Every structure is written in structure tokens, then in C-alpha cells.
Structure 1
Amino acid sequence: MSVDFKETRALLLRRHAAVFAPDRTAQQPDACMQLFDIDLAKLGYALSQRLRARLQTLDSALLSAMQEHIWETLAAQLGGNRQHTPLFRRFPNNIPSNTEALWMDRVLTHFMQAPDQPCLHCARTGTTHVLKPCRHVVCDACFDGGNYSACPICNRHADRDSPFFLPDPGQKQKAAVHMPLKLLDLGASMDDAAQVLVSALCARKQAMSPVDTDDFKTLAGEYRLRLLAWIPEQIPVRENIALLFGTLLKHCEPAAVLAAAAAHIGTATDVIRLVAVYSGADPSLQGQVVYRQVPIAKARGMARFKTLFTPGSYWNKQASLPLPVTIKRFKMAKLGRPLRRALLALLESFHPDSLTEDMLRHRAYWVWLGEFLHPHEYHKRYPKVAFAFGVVRKKGPDGTPGPQFETFYAGLEKAVMRKDAVAMVALLRQRPGELARRFDHALRVADGDSTASSAVLDAFASCAPQFATPVLLTLLALLPNRLHAGETRLYWPKGSVATGFMAPDQRAPLPRQTVDQAVALVERELLARFSSKPPVGECLIDTALADIMVPFNERTASRSAIQLPRGSVLPVPPGKKARLFLHWCQPENGGRSDLDLSVAFYDEQWHFRGVCSYYQLTCKGSDGSIIATSAGDLTDAPFPDGASEFIDLDCDLARQNGVRYAVAVLNNYSGMPFEDLEHAFAGLMFRDDVQGAHFDPRTVALRFDLAGTNGVFLPMVFDLQENQLHWLDLYAPGGFEFNNVETSTATISAVCPAMIAYFASSIRMSMYHLVLLHGAARAQRVILRGDGTLRALSRQEGEDNASFLARLRRWNPQDVDNAPVMHEAPLFAALLDADIALPENSIVYALRPGVSAATIAASDLIS
């Protein structure tokens, strides 16, 4: 089967702004490129001279195909490939100022207006129209058919052939935008670029983001067995092993895939992750949330639903309500007999105790998988597997009770209950990753006992070389914060989306001497690891990266055009208007779904000041000025065009009217979960002119997909006093239906300030401090860029990494180099904006693309 590698070309274009075009002999005239230049500029991109010259050598058919591929890929990344028509087509003009009066008119019309009768509002005759399919009767004298794009009464999409709808006012002209274009360049070799990316993704030391996961699976699906020559000897993250070989199993001969996978699969969990990916499921084994209808009579007796049945509640009139249930199984792909035997043989090769214990960690999944593997059919050939399944199922093949087995974690829990830190550490030494994660806990169990504390610290020191780099970075930032008692503790449970959980912090502070010793050990280990990477002559660092967090819990990150780590802070460009957008589309054969975009306003003490949403289309300040305007609420999103909503926010006016925080809120008001929609995304534009087209891809600052189930998504908070944008990327459970700012304001005013304070406390490492570690370990010279200036600091003769790092952190002006700041040799650059031309072959991390293409991602710096 031939493969055109279209998806690989697309992902390399998205990630590295690289276009791979063959060198042909045609010579297309400049006129063939001019229209493409104009279309690219509408997306905010331009071609480099060498890419333009290469494209002009293609014949007309291939050139047209390449241009279409480039435009579609970039437009899809920004959201510009969708139709964006809000309820009020003349937005931001002609928005009803009295939402309550509009609502009353809609209610009266819904219940009382009849066809062929005078309008009950204006008493005119011959002005009413029956819309399809909702059958609402609307008056064109009371509702402006030139402004509405859907039914004015129910806000659902209607047949636009009705005479009520006046001709479309036409697409607005794109306004002038004052920003540089992002550069697309010619790629040298697609296979080489793919190989580098595969190697980098395999080397990741933490679970990948959804974007990286999708790209990894795409590469495996298109390159197939050719990929095996590119993978390193070690793949640190077990989920990535499953993603690679599970994807290959779908496309290649199982025997060849399993033969290559055997060297990387070492546990039973690896096997079930592999089967999950092969079956199209998530290898994280987090469980799948499904909704089961519970009769109202039964729900009334369930404590979790007690607050729903208040007098007058909507649920009192329903026959049932949805109950979210997490199930630990997935739809199993066909397992042929040869594949089943190969999987059983792989399991049989493991140590019996580790096999059994590992299967017990995911017991529900193994009980389910056993229904398809039929292990007891082969109990003589694979006795260890048969024994393990007997423990998991709690019974043998003859129905007798299964054997008993004590796990590692049961023994660990017993040591904790006895407050025996020495026994606890003795067990944790067997699993260094657990020791790193439970280091703080072990010290608290030691409770100041010098012997026990020394045992914990000794174990930590001896196992530090085996700790994963992300864990070391977490400890380096966390441990200094444990010198004093905290007020709130945040947890980040494993899941498909981020749902930070808060609780009072009841932990006692850790001794300074212990913290100092542990921090020194961690820092020494990190410098040693980074110094083993390829050396660089110079390291250029943006000081603005101090507000960008090192990625953590990437599995729950939203799919986004810009991979902004959770907790990061971006400057809000002065003088521009903020336009938030939401677009979603129901499946072709699916049900109806209603999502809502809102902005909630709070003062300095997080007291609620107002809202802009479907139930208040304009939010006015105390001086009467309009600080936010909604483009209206569409209540369905039929396939294929979907629906879009917008809110314009004037940050300056809001600040002048006593607003400190503006919180973007995305609510699932009713219908299917976010993840079941055909597509759903939202984002933010910064506009010079809000009178231009409703959606202008050139101005998109953030664009992210919606995921998860029903509930409330809190993506970002504007701090209007500091002119900053806090990226939270956080989901709150909300209710089954009717979620809005009013029902969520208690959650918003509790969660948002806690999250902002959490990330401001330096409890998570910033990209700036991570890159300083790389610079101290790998560079001879470090250049800082900030406040429009460049400052350089060179390594002194014979200076070790720790001493250089200490000087970089102090940054004494007397040490700054007087020599020219930048040289022409390739360097390592870590930039907020890639707005500076760099020498060819430089290693570049850039949060936002520009004239220089990023060659690595933030997660590559943690590998």
C-alpha cells in the first residue's frame, strides 16, 4: 500500500514551519505565487525566498496541490478553516442593550405568537414568518432579519430561505493588522526531520501532550516498520512504548512488531497498554466515563444528587438523570489466535511475582482482557500467567478460591501505618521513582528522628541518578517551598483533563538542613545530566521565559496551536482589544449541544462585579461605558458548519471601572460532552480594529481544543491591573446541564486566585530557570535578552558548572562581557517570540513562531 505522507508533511509544517517540496524543472511566473502570498498573509504567514524559488520549479498541478495543503494545514491550526457567523451578524454593532427585555419578548413570542395573526408586540399584520424547523413565528418589524443568523426566539439555526432573513451583509473586510508575518521555510529532508522528531518523542521523560501523542501515532502509522530503525535503545515512558508498538500493530504484521517490541516491554502493564492502543483506547488506563440514566425515584435517595432536588428544580420533573460512571475496560480489537499466544508468551517471560503484582495494579482491565485472551486454555504452556489470572480473578479455572498475594504497596502502607520510616525507605529503594515521589512523605514519617531522617536522605542520595528528570525538576522547585507551612495544597489527579483539587495544607515544614542537602543533590544531578548533552558555544535566553512554566501533567494539556504550559503568564499587548471566540460542531448523526462563552468580572478581592454572557449581552461599567459585548448565544451547532460565539473585551475600560480580573468561562450548558462533538475549540484574538472580519486568523494569540465531559472550562484569567494573561487550562465538574457563570461563580472565585497564587509561588519551575541549567551545563557563554537589551556572561577558565550557574543566577553587572554580544556561529536559543534571525543550524525553542523556526519543544529540554 502506497503512503503519500500527507499527515507527516502537515505535522512538520505545524511544528517546524517547514515545507518539503521536490526540486523540479518548471519555472512558474511570479503571478502564480502572488495570489498564494495574499492568501498566506491572511493567515499571518509568508514564504522564505528559497521556499518560494523551490515552489516555482513545480508544475502547475503539483504547485496547486502544495499550496492547497499548506493553506489548509495552517488555517486548521488557527481555526480559519471554519465558518464563523455569530447570532448577530453585525457584531460588534447592533447588539441589544437590554437583554432582559429581549428575553421577555422571546418568551412571549414563543408562547403566544400564532401564525397569520397580528404581531403581539407591534400589532402589525403581514410581517410575521414561520421559521423551520423550530416553527417559531417571528415579526420582521420587531426582529431584524438582516442582523440575525438564526431563530431570534430559540437561537437555533433555521432555514435561511425564509423571507425573514434578509440578504447576508457580506463578509467584512479584514482590518489592518500591525504585526510581523511568520516565516515558512524550505525543509531539507522530510525523512530526516521525521527521524529527529521520532527520536525526540521517544526520548521524552514524561507523558506526552495530546498534540504530541497524535503526531507520534501519525508518524508510526505512515512510516510503519521503517520507524523501528529510528527508535533509541531505551524509551523511558511506558505509555510511549505502547503508543509506538500498538500503532504499528494496527498497520503491520504482528510477528514483526512484537519481535521488535519485546526488548522494550518489561511488565504486564506494558502489555495491556499495548493492547489498549491496538484497540484504539488510551494507554494511560485511566478509565472511560460513561453516562447511565438513573430513575429519579432512585436518584432522590443518593447523597451525590441531594442538592439537585430543591423546590422548583428542573430535575423534579424529569424521569431520570445521567450518572457518570468510570469503567475500566475498552472495546477490544480482534485478537487472533497467533496474537493471543504471542501476548501470553510475552507475559510468561516475566518474573512471576512482578507479573502478578503488576496485573493487580489494573485488576479490572485484566479481568476484562482475560475474557479475550483465554489464559486457562493454555495453563500448561503458560503456568505463571494462569496463576496470575487466578489471583486477579480471585478464583481458579475450576471455581475454587484463587491464591493470596501481598503487593509492594500493601507492605509500604503497613510501614507508613507503623510510622517506620526506615522500613519504608528500604522498600522504596527497590523503586527509585516511588522514592522520589514519596521523599517528602518519608521525611514526615521520620518526624524529626535523626536516624530515620538520615536513612531517608541517604536513600535519596544513592537513588538520585535513577530519578526521572521531570521529577528532579519538580523537587528542585518544590523543596524550598517546604521550609514553611502552606495554606492550601493543590493536587493534580491523573485524568484526561486537568481538574486541580485543593485542600488545606496540613503538612509540617521540613528542616532547612535536610532541604538544603536534597536541593544540592538534585541540582548536581541535573547539571551532570545536561552536561552530557551536545555542548553549545552560546546560549541565548529570553528573560520573559521566567513567566512560562516548565510543562507538567502534559497528558491533560489542551490541544493548542501554541503549546503554552499550564500556569504560564503572557503579557497583554497594550492598546489592543481582546476578542474571545468559541466554535463547535455537532456530529453528523449526533444530538444537539449548546455551549456558551462568557466573561466574568471581579475586583481586587475577587468580589463579583458583572458578567458578559448569553443572559447579559453587554456588560457596562459604573460610568455607563460598555466594557464587554457578546455576539449572541447560538443554542445548536449543526453539522458541518457548526456555530461560533464571540465576546469583545475592552481591557482599558474594564480596568478604569474597578475590574481587576476578567475570567473567560466556557460552559457546557446542555447536550453531549465536549469530547463527543465533531470538533470544538476556543481561543483569543488581540485586535487593532474590532470592525473587521469576525474571525481574523492573523490576530489569533491562543487557539485550543475543548476536551473532557460536561462541565465548566476555565482556560484563562486577565489580570487587568498587571496587563497579564494567566493560562490555567483547568476544568471544573459543574452540573449535568445549565452551567453558566452564575452557577459557577463560587468555584471561579475560589479556584482562580488559588491557581494564580500557586504558580506565582515558584512551586513549579519556569522555562527561564530550566534553560539557565542547560546554559550552565552546556554553554561557554550565556546571553540574556530582555527590556530591549542583550547582556552576556562568559564561563571563566576552569569554572565548573555549579559555580557558573551561581554566577548566572546572581548576574552581577560587573561580570558582563564587553565583547560584541552575538556571534555568527550556531547557538542554542530559548525565546518567547522567535522574532530574531538566528544563524543556520541553531537549536531553537520558541513559544511563539516567527522569523526563526523552532527545532525543539519545551519537553525536549526535560529529556
Structure 2
Amino acid sequence: MSHSLESLVIRHTHRLPLPAGPSGGGSSAARRLDAALTVAGFKLSAELFEQLSGLSEATVVRTARQTLHTVSEMVGDHVRHNPYFIEFPANVPDTEEFWMRCVTKALRDEKSRGSVLSQLAHGALDLLSLPAYGRYQHTYEEMLAAQSELIASAGDRVTVLHLGRDLEGELTDLYLALAGSTTPLGEEHLSDLRTLAGQCALGPQPDSLPVRENRAVVNEARLAVGAGLLLDTVVDVLRLACALSDGDVTLQQPTRFRAFSRPVRRALLAGLDAVIAANPAKLADVHAHREPFKRLGERLHPHEYPRWPHAADVFAVARGEKEARTFDSRVEKLLDEFDVAGAARLLKSAPGKLFRTLDLLLRIAADQEERDAVAAIAAQVAPEVSGRVVLSVREHFQNRERETDTPRIFVNRRGGGWVTPDFRPPVPSADRDRLIAALDAEMRRRLPAPGRLLVDPAVFDVALPLSGRAGAGGFGVLPRGSVSAVDGSQLRFFTYWKETENRTDYDLSALLLHADYSTDAWLSYTALTAVGGEHSGDVTEAPDGASEFINLSLDRVRSACVVPQVNIFSGEGFEQVEESFFGFMLRDGEQKGRPFEPRTVRMKSELRGTGRVALPLVFRREDDGRWHAKWLHLYLRGISSANRVEQNQVSVSKVVRAVVEREYLTVRYLIDLMSGDGGAVDLWDGGPVPDGPVTYIGLERPEGLHPDSRVITLENLRDLIPG
């Protein structure tokens, strides 16, 4: 168990917990570990190397084994990546030539000849019926022997592992950071919080748990150890019941509630009773989740516990036997009567709802007097609104500054994306600008004085992580809307999947678009080569795991955009397979190397969406000829089977355009606010860092920072969002 916890710390913090063990001469083992880490693109910090060298060799060897396994998983090197074409990216055949080669082999095979001749006679041929198609024709070892060694390059990625505290201290710090996050966590981080809560439920706790899903996971752990529950709405109890049933605490997917033990039933009913006894108006919250509450009531048997009558009222409202007028219905009544100012005054008691309704209120206001009233109330309640909502509304109005034919994009909590035309009338520019100024002032008030700011310029265009669901679990993953430079002449995508039970075929493809988002070309199993690119070949089953690659020479690509995608052709979905992930590598032109080289991996993200077409990011060539990536993290619904790049090119280009042309709030915005009062901002160029404490903001932590420095990196970027 301790090994998995150590891995969790390394993944989240890039720190290695200080191993427990006797002192000794571990310098030789530490050097071997450092050398082995280099293969995967990692290295030990000088401080960590020194600490390991002072431990016994056996302790260092034990630590090395776990550390190497962890970093391999982080970049996707824990599995064998084998392309269909053994010499990929060299000697990839033309598509039709390859298909004819497979047909010729099939006709020479007595077992398949009859079936192939019969299909040809009817004018259609199923590629999957050809023995040489879609199944590896060589072993992994044969592929390695056919490939050249990677030539080291100064552009190879180097990720530093830093020295951490003891394991218990690191786990406590990480638990407090995740549980107290001001923004919702992604699926992977929420799962990690559940693990940490089980370890830390009786230890130090965060001052507040602003995110409801986090509270549900923490309450599950507190219930298990007999600690008091943290509840202030009936929905908190519903989320806890979902957590106890291994269901969806976000309440987006229905949960099948398990049969609860009597102690658990008593705890849940007592919690419901206490919430309503303290504030009967909270019965109205039941309406938004009536069906789940009805199903939960069938499991809790509230009639058996007459000492908690308020809990029984919750289920009576869910069944429609008791009335509870909702707050939203009162707001809707005022809006139906076109009483905008009255609706705004009522919404003062629900500041978050008011902020989410501001666009509508400003659009339907009858005159300037009503718009002034709305803006004044918004400014008055702004200090009561969470920082995440303030920033989300600020970003929303930033994108209402111009009239455009860019479609609106909607993304649900599972990454499902769709677009619609934007028919909304504009918000008057003066009102919009006044509101933006008020939101900026509120954010400036909340941000802490940073002292001396040290910033890695690469972080400026990273989108603020207003929700952990705007990204994906993995390594080097940036939030949706982030922009990052692409430094390298060879861009290579990879995807890996391993089926659970059923034959599963994923297809890695790339759609190449013109500047106006119309289709230029594509790379896929139906187009193995295109201008500047090669596909590694179609693998159509993955009982032992399978990989596909696309290689692009960026100096030869003529298109303006490259959109990699993973299409589910058949079989299990992204959330059903045993494992699936996507990533990309960058290399210099002369590096050669195997199809997958871990130290060239710049990003690896888990594929865990509900759609059948995954769109991780888009690559764009700017006017100066340089390439940048903009992060998407989207899943399109697709069709039940046979998803192909040719069929989804229109829908893909629409969502790509919507994200590319949307202006996201970035780290640069918060840094500008923090330094707006004359604070100094030093740009870190990769060299020595200042001697004194700083607030450092960047993608990775530099070596040598003063121990009293505040450090914000990709791993804890959410800490930038004020509460």
C-alpha cells in the first residue's frame, strides 16, 4: 500500500518522499537510478541525489524500483508500443498498395482464399477477413531490432524530481490541497482524493471544503472512521450516498444505490434531518434531484425512524406529497413579468445564481435604469461569489465583446462537446465593460500580495483551471483553452488501448485543415501517407494492448491546423477498456529512434470520456510559421460503430473552430492583476534563481528555490484561483 501512496505523491507533486531506511553508502545506487531515469526523461535534483546517497544501498534500490515504475507510467512507457509497420515511420506503403499486398497474401493462403474470392466476386471486400490486415506480423523484439537508437538531443524533455518530506507529511499536504481545492477536480484527482481521505480522515483537515464533490468523498472517509459529517444541504447527503455506492458524486450519471447497513442509514437520515431542522427552506433543493432522492428513500426506509421527521419530509417532497416552493420558480415568475430589477434583488440572496444569470438580465432589461440596477447589485454581492464563478463570468463577458459568427460551444462535465449557432443579441458594450472592470477589481482585491514574482514565460498562455474537468489525467496536460509552443520539427502522436473483454478497434487519425477550417487532407488507416506525414498502420484488436502512431514533419505540412483524434471503430468505449491513453512526442529531424521514446514525450493524457471520438488538442501554424498547440479535451458523441475521420470532419472542424476562436482567461491575466500595483515580475530564463524567497509560477519547479518560496506549477495550478 505504501508503494502506491508514494507513486501518488510523485505523480501529483514531482517530489519523491524521503525514504525511511538506515544510513549508508547509497551513492552508487543513486547514480544508477539517475542514469535510468534519464531514459524516461527524468532526473534527480541535486538535493534529492545527495539525500539518497546518504542512505543504504538496499533502501535506494527499493526506492529506485518504485520510482522508475511510476515515472514510466506517467509518460506511457509501462507498456510495449508496437506499430503495425515494423520500420515506421520509414517505408510506410501507399494505402492501396498495402491493401493489395494483403489481398495477395490472402489468396496464397488456402484457409482464406475461398472467402476472399467469394467477396471479390460480389464486388466488396472486408479488410478484417484478410489474415495480414490489422494483426501484428512481427514481434515487439523484432521491431526493436529493426529500429535505430535514439540520438540524444538538447531538446529532449528533462523533468526534475525534487526531494520531498517524509511520506506522511507529503500525503497530508496533498490531501489538504485536493480536499480544499477551490475548483472541481478531474476524475483521476477525485479518485486520488478518495484514497488520501481514507488515510487522512482523522488528521488535519482543510479550513473549508468549497467543492461539493470533494465534500462527498471526504464525508465517505469520515463516516468510515466515525467522525462527524460535514453537511449543509440535502444534496450533500445525496452525494455521500452516491459515494458509498461507488456512484457518480457529480450527480451527472444515475447511481444504483446499494443496500446500506443500519448504522449508515441512521447517519444519512440524521444528516438529512439536521439540515432541514436548521433551515426548512432547503427542502426546495430536493426538486432538482427528485428521482435520485426517491430511489434513495427506498434504500433508507425513513418510516422506520420516526425520531427524524424532517428526513421523511425530504422524501415526501421527492414523491410530490409535500410542497416546497423553489427559489428558481420565484425568480422565473419575476422574469416572466419582465421585472428584471426585482429578479436581481431577489437573486442577491443567491449571489452565485445571480452571476450565472447576469448575461440574461442585461439582455432583457427594458432600459438603462434596469441595467444600472443589475450592475450595481452584481458589484455589491461580488465579494460573496466564489473566485471560480467570478473568473468564469469574467471569461464569459470577455467573449461577448464582439459580434461574430463563431458558434457557441458547450462542454459537459464528462468532456462531451457540441456547438450551436449564437443567436443571442449583444450585451451593450458600456454595461459589459463596466461589469468587466468591477470583476477585475474584485479579483485584484482577493489575490494575495505576491512579493517578488518569478515567472516562467511558458506559463503565460496556460488557461486558468476553473474546473479540473477542463483537462484530463496524465502527464504534461494543460487545461482546455491553453496554448503552448511546439518546439521540434518532428511531431508524433500515439495512442494505446487494451481491451477488457470484447474485441476493440481504436483508430488514431489526424484531420488537416485549411485556415478557414475546411478540410485539406487526413491521415488514417484509409490514408496511410499525406503531405508531411505517415500512419503506423491499422491494428484492429488489442487483447494484449495495441498502439498506433502518426508522424508529421512540420516543415513539410502545408495545412494550417492539425487535429489528432482517436475514433472508436468497434468494441469497448474509452471508459470500458482496461486502459487507453493518447500523447504526443517532439523530436529533432535527425534523432531517429524507436516509434515510442519516453524522453521525447511532451504530453500523455488518459482517454476516459463518454463519446466515441476523442479530440485531445489541435496544432496550429501561426502567421510567423511557428506551431502552437491549443488544448481541447473534448469527446464527440459519434456513432455506435465505424467512426472514421472522413465522416466526422465537419463536426470536428466546428468544435475546433469554437475552441480556437474563444478567448480563455490565462495565467497572464492573474499575473497582470497581482503585479498591477507596481510589483516586480522577473522572467525566469532557465538560469540561476534568486537567493531570497519568491512567488514562482511556471510549468515546472526550478532547482535551488529558497525554501520559503511559494511555488505554483502545473501540478497545483488550481491554487492560483482565489476562494
TM-score, structure 2 normalization: 0.91
Deviations 1:443-478 (A, max 9, x none): 22223251x223322321221110110121223343
Distance 2:144 2:411 in 1: 48
Tell me what 1:470 maps to.
388
1:60-209 → structure 2 map (5 Å cutoff): 60-97=57-94, 99-106=95-102, 113-115=109-111, 151-153=131-133, 155-156=134-135, 169=145, 172-178=148-154, 179=156, 181-209=158-186
Q: 1:27 to 1:350 in 2, by over 3 A?
A: closer
Q: Residue 344 of structure 1 corresponds to which residue in structure 2?
A: 269
In the alignment, which residue of structure 2 is the partner of 1:604? 515
1: distance between equivalents of 2:490 and 2:671?
A: 33
Residue 695 of structure 1 pairs with residue 606 of structure 2: no
Q: 1:48 aligns with which of 36, 45, 48?
A: 45
The change in CA–CA distance for 1:173 and 1:119 in structure 2 (over 3 A counts) is farther
- Is the contact made by 1:488 and 1:505 (CA closer than 8 Å) also made in structure 2? no
1:214 is aligned, of 191, 202, 226, to: 191
Structure 2 partner of 1:579: 492
Answer yes or no: is the 8 Å Cα contact 2:416–2:609 preserved in 1.
no
Give the direction of change, closer, same or farther, for the CA distance of 1:75–1:671 in structure 2 (3 Å limit): same
| Displacement of 1:840 | 3.3
How many angstroms apart in 2 are the aligned matches of 1:832 and 1:159?
40
Amino acid at match of 2:631: W
Shift of 1:500: 4.3
Q: 2:680 aligns with which of 777, 782, 788?
A: 782
Q: Is contact 2:416–2:611 with CA below 8 Å preserved after alignment?
A: no
| Letter matched to residue 597 of structure 2 | D
2-structure distance, mates of 1:434, 1:136: 57
Which of 491, 505, 529 pairs up with 1:618?
A: 529
Aligned equivalent of 2:209: 235
Q: Distance in 2 between matches of 1:119 and 1:209?
A: 49
What is the CA-CA distance between 1:108 and the residue it aligns to?
A: 6.7
Give the conservation status (yes or no) of the 8 Å contact 1:546–1:768. yes
- Spell out the pairing of 1:526-565 with structure 2 (5 A cutoff): 526-531=443-448, 535-565=449-479
1:276 aligns with 2:252: no
Aligned letter for 1:348?
D
CA distance in 2 between partners of 1:523 and 1:120 (Å): 68
- Separation (CA, whole Å) in 2 of partners of 1:168 and 1:75: 18
Distance verdict in 2 for CA 1:419–1:484, change over 3 Å: farther
**Shift in alpha-carbon separation, 1:728–1:159, aligned structure 2, 3 A:** closer
2:288 to 352, 361, 371: 361
Structure 2 CA distance for partners of 1:710 and 1:516, relative to 1, 3 Å: closer
Distance in 2, Cα, partners of 1:520 & 1:504? 25
**CA offset at residue 705 of structure 1?**
0.7
Once the two structures are superposed, residues 159-216 of structure 1 have per-residue CA deviations (whole angstroms, 9 ceiling, x without a partner) of 979xxx9897367533323236332222233333333333322332221123432332
Do 1:601 and 1:609's aligned partners in 2 also have CA atoms closer than 8 Å? yes
5+ unaligned residues in a row in structure 1: which ranges?
A: 122-133, 138-150, 288-327, 395-401, 622-626, 791-820, 848-853
Residues 419 and 51 of structure 1: is their aligned pair in 2 closer, same or farther, counting only changes over 3 Å?
Answer: same
TM-superposed deviation, 1:416: 1.8
- Partners of 1:113 and 1:119 within 8 A in 2: no
Change (3 A) 1:241 1:392: same
Retained in 2: the 8 A contact 1:542–1:768? no
Residue 516 of structure 1: CA displacement?
3.8
Instruction: State the one-letter code of the partner of 1:177.
Output: S
Alignment CA distance shift 1:757-1:773 (3 Å): same
Q: 1:31 to 1:377 in 2, by over 3 A?
A: closer
Question: Residue type matched to 1:358 in 2?
Answer: D
Q: 2:366 aligns with which of 421, 439, 447?
A: 447
Residues 462-507 of structure 1: CA distance to partner in whole angstroms, max 9, x if unpaired? 2111011012122334335435434345243433124143322322
1-structure distance, mates of 2:264, 2:36: 50
* Percentage of matched positions with identical amino acids: 28
Give deviations 1:731-767, integer Å, cap 9, x for gaps: 11111111111001111222212221113xxxx2111
- d(CA) in 2 for partners of 1:369 and 1:767? 42
Which residue does 1:857 correspond to in 2? 717
SS of residue in 2 equivalent to 1:676:
coil
Which amino acid in the other structure matches residue 20 of structure 1?
Answer: P
Deviation at 1:68, TM superposition (A): 0.7
Q: How does 1:668-683 map to 2 (within 5 A)?
A: 668-683=568-583
Matches of 1:522 and 1:65 in 2, distance apart?
52
Correspondence for 1:802:
none
Query: Structure 2 CA distance, aligned partners of 1:749 and 1:495?
Result: 21
The Cα of 1:832 is off from its aligned counterpart by: 4.2
Contact 1:415 1:424 in 2 (8 A): yes
Conserved 8 A contact 1:674-1:680 = yes
Structure 1 residues 859 and 48: alpha-carbon distance in aligned structure 2, compared to 1, 3 A threshold: closer
TM-score where L is the length of structure 1: 0.76
**Residues of 2 paired with 1:26 and 1:350: CA distance?**
54
The 5-angstrom pairing of residues 660-739 of structure 1 reads: 660-688=560-588, 689=590, 691-720=592-621, 721-739=625-643
Q: Structure 1 CA distance, aligned partners of 2:399 and 2:610?
A: 34
Picking from 538, 551, 554, the partner of 1:633 is 538
Tell me the distance in 2 between the aligned counterparts of 1:62 and 1:102: 53
Q: 2-side partners of 1:46 and 1:64: how far apart?
A: 16
Name the CA distance, whole Å, in 2 between partners of 1:519 and 1:115.
71
Which residue identity is paired with 1:388? Answer: V
Match of 2:302 among 375, 383, 396: 375
1:109 is displaced (CA, Å) by 5.7
Contact 2:181-2:718 at 8 Å conserved across structures: no
Give the CA RMSD over aligned residues.
3.0
Q: Which residue of structure 2 lines up, in the alignment, with residue 842 of structure 1?
A: 709
Which AA in structure 2 matches 1:231?
Answer: P
Q: Shift in Å at residue 642 of structure 1?
A: 0.4
Deviations 1:699-746 (A, max 9, x none): 111110111234211222221344211211111111111111100111
1:414 has 2:318 as partner: no
Q: Pick closer, same or farther for the CA change 1:525–1:651 going to 2, 3 Å.
A: same
Q: Deviations over 1:528-571 (max 9, x none)?
A: 2224xxx4430123444342211134225221212401111111
**Other-structure match for 1:758:** 662
Taking CA–CA contacts closer than 8 Å with sequence separation of 6 or more, which of the two structures ends up with the larger relative contact order?
2
How many angstroms does 1:789 deviate by?
11
1:43 deviates by 0.9
Task: Label 1:537 to 1:363 Cα distance change in 2 as closer, same or farther (>3 A).
Answer: same
Could you tell me which amino acid in structure 2 is paired with residue 648 of structure 1? N
Cα 1:698–1:32 change in 2 (3 A) is same
How much does 1:105 deviate? 4.6
Is this contact kept in 2: 1:485–1:509, CA < 8 A? no
Question: Does the C-alpha gap of structure 1 residues 736 and 67 become closer, same or farther in structure 2, counting only changes over 3 Å?
Answer: same
Q: Is the 8 A contact 2:451 2:679 kept in 1?
A: yes
How many residues end up aligned between the 2 structures? 707
Distance verdict in 2 for CA 1:599–1:375, change over 3 Å = same
What residue in structure 1 maps to residue 121 of structure 2?
Answer: none
> What is the CA–CA distance in structure 2 between the aligned matches of 1:185 and 1:829, rounded to whole Å?
15
Equivalent in the alignment of 1:313? none
Q: In the alignment, what sits opposite 1:267? A: 233
> Which amino acid letter does the alignment assign opposite residue 661 of structure 1?
C
- Which residue does the alignment assign to 1:497? 415
Q: Write the deviation string for residues 101-139 of structure 1: whole angstroms up to 9, x where unpaired.
A: 332453576589424989999xxxxxxxxxxxx9978xx
Give the counterpart letter for 2:209 in structure 1. I
1:774/1:193 Cα in 2 relative to 1: closer, same or farther (>3 Å)? farther
